[in-house]
Structure 1
């Protein structure tokens, strides 16, 4: 499988390099000061030149939907057209490789998922978030520990204590081996000193269906993916693993609130190749702040059950670096790389 992925990546990189040609200099309207420079650097960006936004997943999904509404708002902020393209393959690596290998001039932006901090450790690519500079984070999607309503655990503490006394007995469903929801359950194991039996499914929906049918005992997927079953009284959420409580299940505490140092969540942001001039990054970061904090983006996120969670580019660079280090250590421990 890795050999096939490597060949696909190599082909994509070759096409990208042929298309890119030599380096380019940003040109058009806009100015900013170069970060860390003693003198102000003025650049013309973006002018009437089109900007490309690459989404490394299929059209119609959550990432694509968020990226397209962001692009619409970014067009207004930058005063130029934004074209969204879906470049799929290798769990997102193909699309991100295309952006990494593009001219670092600000005219090619990547939609960056949490998986961008995991792909290298999973062996899909040598790419990581270190190859990019973020221009903003838009959202977070926390993992939620969910069980059937008739399960014998009413609190996360009950759940963990039972797991300690019965190693491997609790079957926890996830959306696929190496997925962020698999990592969520594995992080609980590591932090709480328990052992689960991980059951991978082809996406979150079949995992939720298996829990509903009583074939497994828990899932670690997003609150929005279990909300209908919670509302119907079939499920109960014991804990969420986000930075803050979920708007979908606001009465459920976070692991941090319970004194457990776990934060595992999906997120979506936007980034450019790392060698993009700081002056251009400054312009894109300011425009992204306006776009991400627009009412339309906030409404789209709320409608999808995601948390609006804007972070500046520099703050997101730091957070991504921390997560990259964490997953680079954890994933090999899981034996799935």
Structure 2
């Protein structure tokens, strides 16, 4: 082969390889701030986690994450906002287990299959929380009173995980509650503080500041073992009620997001969760760290979707 011909062929090969090299390096993403959509009000556990993550991600993304609260419909308003985003990757959803309950109750057509998972960040069990001056000191006393009285129990929205937590107590004990939906855990806690309802069944982490201040008390947590930060609080299982309900929180983008953007976000997230500031923020709120990347998070969502589908059918809650 002539030298000029050889140079020409090598030039063509190199030119053809350029797009693949650029693709392997990933896109120049992001080139502007990215919205991290928290589908619950400010002050709740999901909001606290989202803001802590956004601060910790500063070192690992070339542009900031801007936390946007879009509460309502137990998360569905925020999810829809992310799915309707026009620019791939510039709206990230902070998902919670409500995404497993809402569609199974027929309250939204949005499901986990509409998203591509980035990573799960945490997990927290539900808890029975009452005012500090409430007369009930144990789960047994609370349940006995609930069977006799007209108890209103607040949750994070109709069809939310916290709604299912209270419904599971009804199923196991025969108690009957008036289920009062709120836009999130924090509004429910504020209503309890005001004496408008008897109890809430949100996570222990979401009421921790009020418990620490001596305004609320937790009677029991819905996990298989006692949890960090609440070692003195028994599990419902210890009290003869085998109920394990809780919520995880994680990041996801719409399912049609280009794979190179998904890869960039997963890589940045894997580094961000190692930041001590994020771990400290979780510990401060007694929130459980439970990282699961990409496909592992997707498997969790698929499993939980089926679990809540069965629970909702058993309790006859579909369509309520």
Common topology (TM > 0.5): yes
Match of 1:220 among 190, 201, 204: 201
Q: In the alignment, what sits opposite 1:185?
A: 166
Q: Does 1:205 align with 2:189?
A: yes
Q: Retained in 1: the 8 A contact 2:50–2:67? A: no
Note the C-alpha offset of 1:127: 0.7
Q: In the alignment, what sits opposite 1:274?
A: 255
Cα RMSD (Å) of the superposition?
A: 3.8
Q: Does 1:74 align with 2:57?
A: yes
TM-score by length of 2: 0.72
Q: In the alignment, what sits opposite 1:61?
A: 43
2: CA distance, partners of 1:226 / 1:65? 12
Match of 1:45 among 27, 38, 46: 27
Q: Secondary structure at the match of 1:319?
A: helix
Q: In the alignment, what sits opposite 2:11?
A: none
Note the C-alpha offset of 1:309: 2.5
Q: In the alignment, what sits opposite 2:175?
A: 195
Q: In the alignment, what sits opposite 2:92?
A: 109
How does 1:232-243 map onto structure 2 within 5 Å? 236-242=217-223
2: CA distance, partners of 1:218 / 1:116? 24
TM-score by length of 1: 0.69
Q: In the alignment, what sits opposite 2:7?
A: none
* Number of residue pairs the alignment of both structures matches: 293
Note the C-alpha offset of 1:68: 3.3
Q: Report the structure number with the largest CA radius of gyration.
A: 2
2: CA distance, partners of 1:315 / 1:150? 43
1: CA distance, partners of 2:48 / 2:231? 24
Q: In the alignment, what sits opposite 1:86?
A: 68
- The alpha-carbon distance between structure 1 residues 28 and 256, as it changes in their structure 2 partners (threshold 3 A), is farther
Note the C-alpha offset of 1:294: 1.4
Note the C-alpha offset of 1:116: 2.2
2: CA distance, partners of 1:234 / 1:70? 28
Gaps spanning 5+ residues in structure 2: where?
1-18
Gaps spanning 5+ residues in structure 1: where?
1-26, 32-41
Q: Retained in 1: the 8 A contact 2:131–2:215? A: yes
Q: In the alignment, what sits opposite 2:153?
A: 173
How does 1:1-337 map onto structure 2 within 5 Å? 42-47=24-29, 49-50=31-32, 52-57=34-39, 60-62=42-44, 63-78=46-61, 80-84=62-66, 86=68, 88=70, 90-91=72-73, 92-102=75-85, 105-147=88-130, 155-156=138-139, 162=144, 167=147, 169=149, 171-175=151-155, 176-190=157-171, 192-200=172-180, 202=182, 203-209=187-193, 218-224=199-205, 226-227=207-208, 230=211, 236-242=217-223, 245-255=226-236, 260-278=241-259, 280-331=261-312, 333-334=316-317, 337=320
Q: Secondary structure at the match of 1:334?
A: coil
Q: Retained in 2: the 8 A contact 1:57–1:87? A: yes
Q: Retained in 1: the 8 A contact 2:126–2:165? A: yes
2: CA distance, partners of 1:127 / 1:313? 19
Note the C-alpha offset of 1:61: 3.4
- The alpha-carbon distance between structure 1 residues 280 and 231, as it changes in their structure 2 partners (threshold 3 A), is closer
1: CA distance, partners of 2:78 / 2:254? 13
